C-alpha cells in the first residue's frame, strides 16, 4: 500500500517547521486524518528534523592556506615576481651605486624631467585639463584592448575600447552615468553603452570627446536593448577633447 499524494508529502517538513501556507495546512491536516502512511512519515520526519537540528557546526582553523595567501599577495602586487629577482636588484645596486654613477644618473633624470615639464606645460599650468579623468590602482595592461565592432567576438571579461562619447545620460536616483561610445561621429553604429555606477566615483566624459574606456564587458539581452556594454566602467582616459 502506498500514498500517491507526493505534493502533500513535500509539505510535511514545512508543516513541522510551522512554515506551511494556510491553504496547504487545511488540505494536509485533512489528509493526515485519513492516511496512516503519511502520519508515520510525519513522525519519522519530526524525529529526523530534531536530530538534524543538533548537527554541530564545524569551525576551520585560523590560518590562511598558503596558496590563498600567495594569490592575495600576487593580486596586490599586480604580476607576481620571483623573490630572487629582488635580491639580484639589491646586489646590482650595491655593486654599481658609486658616487660617479649616481651623479650621471641624477643629471639624466633632471634633464628628462625638464623635457617632460616643457612638453606638458599647457596641462601642468592649467591651460588644458589633465588627460586622464581618474587614476586608479588598476593594472591597465591586464585589459584586453579591442575595437567596438569586435565586441561581439570577445570572450574576455576585462576590456578596453576607444571611441567618441555621445548621449551622456545621468540618472540621479540610481546614481549612475551612462553614455554611448561610437567608432565614428558620422555613423550611429557600431556602438557600446558604457555605465559608471556606484561605488565607483568618476566624472562623465564630455560629449564629443574621444576616450578609451576600461571595464567589464557584458551583453544586455533585454528585448528593448540587446546591445554590448562596458559595465561597470573602471577607468576612462581622455585621448582627444
Partner 1 sequence: MIQRPELANNKCAVDREQERHLVFAVQRGDPEAFRELYDAYRERIYNLVTYSIGDPLQTQDVLQTIFLKVFRGLRGFRFQSSLSTWIYRIAHNECQNYHRAWRAPHVPLEAILGSHHEIDTRPVSHEQHARQERDVILQQALMQLPFKMREVVVLKYVEGLSYDEIGRVLGCAPGTVASRLNRALTELEERLRPFKRLL
Residue 4 DSSP symbol: -
User: Does residue 9 touch partner 1 according to CB under 8 A?
Assistant: yes
Interface with partner 1 includes 200 (CB under 8 A)? yes
Give SS3 for 10: coil
| Separation between Cα atoms, residue 87 and residue 98, nearest integer Å | 19
Closer CB to partner 1, residue 12 or residue 236? 12
Which one, of 3, 24, 12, 75, lies nearest residue 48 by Cα? Answer: 12
Nearer to partner 1, 19 or 224 (CB): 19
- Tell me the C-alpha distance between 135 and 133, whole Å: 7
Taking alpha carbons only, the member of 134, 136, 139, 135 closest to residue 74 is 139
Cell numbers that stand for 131 in this block: 588627460
How many residues bind partner 1 (CB under 8 A)? The answer is 48
Q: Binding partner 1 by CB under 8 A: which of 3, 25, 35, 138?
A: 138
Nearest approach in angstroms of CB 98 to partner 1 is: 38
CB 211 within 8 A of CB 205: yes
**For partner 1, which residue of 53, 127, 135, 222 counts as binding (CB under 8 A)?**
53
**CB-nearer residue toward partner 1: 11 or 164:** 11
User: In the range 61-120, which residues lie near partner 1 by CB under 8 A?
Assistant: 61, 64-65, 67-68, 71-73, 75-76, 78
> How near is the Cβ of 150 to partner 1 at its closest, in Å?
18
Q: Residue 124 in contact with residue 117, Cβ under 8 Å?
A: yes
Q: How far is the CB of 57 from partner 1 (least distance, A)?
A: 3
Nearest to partner 1 of 78, 189 (CB atom):
78
C-alpha cell at 230: 562596458
DSSP category for residue 199: T
The residue to which cell 576585462 is assigned? 158
Interface residue with partner 1, options 3, 32, 35, 41 (CB under 8 A): 41
3-class state of residue 81 by DSSP: coil
Check residue 201 for interaction with partner 1 (CB under 8 A): no
Q: Summarize as ranges the residues that interact with partner 1 (CB under 8 A).
A: 6-7, 9-14, 41, 44-45, 47-49, 51-61, 64-65, 67-68, 71-73, 75-76, 78, 136-139, 157-158, 199-200, 216, 218, 231-232, 234
Amino acid at each position: 500500500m502506498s500514498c500517491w499524494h507526493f505534493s502533500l508529502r513535500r509539505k510535511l517538513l514545512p508543516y513541522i517547521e510551522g512554515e506551511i501556507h494556510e491553504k496547504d495546512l487545511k488540505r494536509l491536516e485533512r489528509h493526515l486524518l485519513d492516511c496512516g502512511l503519511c502520519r508515520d512519515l510525519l513522525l519519522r520526519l519530526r524525529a529526523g528534523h530534531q536530530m538534524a537540528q543538533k548537527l554541530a557546526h564545524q569551525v576551520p582553523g585560523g590560518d590562511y592556506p598558503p596558496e590563498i595567501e600567495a594569490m592575495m599577495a600576487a593580486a596586490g602586487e599586480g604580476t607576481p615576481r620571483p623573490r630572487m629577482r629582488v635580491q639580484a636588484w639589491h646586489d646590482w645596486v650595491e655593486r654599481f651605486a658609486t658616487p660617479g654613477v649616481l651623479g650621471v644618473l641624477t643629471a639624466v633624470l633632471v634633464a628628462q624631467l625638464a623635457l617632460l615639464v616643457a612638453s606638458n606645460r599647457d596641462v601642468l599650468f592649467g591651460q588644458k585639463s589633465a588627460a586622464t579623468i581618474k587614476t586608479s590602482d588598476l593594472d591597465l595592461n591586464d585589459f584586453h584592448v579591442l575595437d567596438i565592432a569586435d565586441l561581439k567576438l570577445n570572450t574576455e571579461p576585462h576590456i578596453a575600447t576607444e571611441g567618441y562619447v555621445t548621449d551622456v545620460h545621468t540618472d540621479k536616483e540610481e546614481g549612475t552615468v551612462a553614455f554611448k561610445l561610437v567608432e565614428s561621429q558620422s555613423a550611429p553604429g557600431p556602438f557600446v553603452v558604457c555605465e559608471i555606477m556606484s561605488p565607483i566615483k568618476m566624472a562623465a566624459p564630455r560629449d564629443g570627446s574621444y576616450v578609451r574606456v576600461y571595464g567589464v564587458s557584458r551583453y544586455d539581452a533585454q528585448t528593448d536593448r540587446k546591445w554590448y556594454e562596458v559595465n561597470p566602467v573602471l577607468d576612462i582616459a581622455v585621448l582627444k577633447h
